[in-house]
Structure 1
Amino acid sequence: MTVQTSEAAFWERTVGDIAATLPGATAVFRKFKIDFCCNGDLTLDSAAHRRGVDPRDLEQALTALGTADGAGAAPAAMSNEVLIDHIQACYHEAHRRALPELIALSRKVEAVHREHPKVPAGLSDALRLLGGELEQHMAKEEAILFPAMLQWTEGKYDIPISELRHEHDGQGISLRLLESLTDNFTTPEGACRSWQALYVGVAQLAEDMIEHIHLENNVLFPRFDAAESRA
Structure 2
Amino acid sequence: MGVNIHGTDRVGDIVTNYPKTAEVFKAFRIDFCCGGNQSLLQAISSRDIKEEDLLNDLRAAAEAPTAEEINWTELRSAELIDYIVGNHHDYLRSALPQLSEYVKKIARVHGLNHPDLFQVYQWFETLRTDMEHHMEKEESEAFPAVLAYEKDPTASNRERLLETLDLLEQEHEGSGDLLKQIREITHDYELPEDACTTFRLTYLKLEELEADMFQHIHLENNILFNRV
Tell me which interval the TM-score lies in, with the shorter structure as reference length. Answer: 0.7 to 0.9
Take 1:165 and 1:24, find their aligned partners in 2: how far apart are those partners? 23
Matches within 5 A, 1:101-116: 101-116=98-113
The change in CA–CA distance for 1:157 and 1:47 in structure 2 (over 3 A counts) is closer
Give the alignment's TM-score, normalised by structure 2: 0.88
8 Å contact from structure 2 (residues 81, 143) kept in 1: yes
2:213 is matched with which residue? Answer: 209
Give the alignment's TM-score, normalised by structure 1: 0.87
Take 2:62 and 2:12, find their aligned partners in 1: how far apart are those partners? 17
The change in CA–CA distance for 1:77 and 1:31 in structure 2 (over 3 A counts) is farther
1:136 is matched with which residue? Answer: 133
Note the alpha carbon deviations across 1:6-60, whole angstroms, 9 max, x for none: 3xx4222110111111121211111111111121121112223333222222111
Take 2:39 and 2:165, find their aligned partners in 1: how far apart are those partners? 22
Identity of aligned residues (%): 33
Residue 127 in structure 1 maps to residue 124 in structure 2: yes
Take 1:67 and 1:19, find their aligned partners in 2: how far apart are those partners? 13
Q: How much has 1:187 moved relative to structure 2?
A: 1.1
**SS of structure 2 residue aligned to 1:130:** helix
8 Å contact from structure 1 (residues 34, 47) kept in 2: yes
Take 1:222 and 1:10, find their aligned partners in 2: how far apart are those partners? 21
Question: How many residues are matched?
Answer: 220
Among 57, 60, 67, the residue aligned to 2:56 = 60
8 Å contact from structure 1 (residues 22, 74) kept in 2: no
Take 2:123 and 2:106, find their aligned partners in 1: how far apart are those partners? 14
The change in CA–CA distance for 1:159 and 1:59 in structure 2 (over 3 A counts) is closer
> Runs of 5+ in structure 1 lacking a partner?
225-231
8 Å contact from structure 1 (residues 28, 61) kept in 2: yes
Take 1:41 and 1:68, find their aligned partners in 2: how far apart are those partners? 25
Take 1:188 and 1:41, find their aligned partners in 2: how far apart are those partners? 36
